[in-house]
Amino acid sequence: MGSRFFCPAAILFLPAIVGCGGSLAPQPEPRPIASGTIEQLTVWNNPVQRPGETGSNTGHSPPKGSRVEIYDEFILVTPPKGPTILSPPGWYTDLFFNRDSRH
């Protein structure tokens, strides 16, 4: 009697087990919220400390004129002689830039 219930159950769940076999549609590439050339920026080696936190942190400033692209969850900074730096929020401060006219 157990086999009677197995076959219908297997047929019902077969699509979930096997899958559709199709591929997902390609996702569009994310577009930056804004982009431009840097006037000033500090990128830190560790997250920026909040009031009351202790410890040390060091940072560096990409050269003025480096490219910046700002996304929801990170920024991309490309100095004239590379390489590109990815920095999440909380890991950079003092971002001042000349915005591209297209954004």
Q: Does 51 sit behind a cis peptide bond, omega within 30 degrees of 0 on the bond before it?
A: no
CB 47 within 8 A of CB 41: no
Compare 62 and 16 and report the one with higher pLDDT: 62
Domain-located, residue 19: no
Residue type, 54: T
In tens, the pLDDT along 22-58 reads: 668 888 888 999 999 999 999 999 999 888 888 889 9
Domain-located, residue 4: no
Q: Where are the extended beta strands (E) located within the chain?
A: 34-44, 59-60, 67-70, 75-78, 85-87, 92-99
Domain-located, residue 9: no
Please tell me the pTM assigned to this model. 0.68
Domain interval for residue 86: 34-99
Q: Could you give the number of structural domains in the chain? A: 1
Domain-located, residue 90: yes
Domain-located, residue 75: yes
CB 57 within 8 A of CB 44: yes
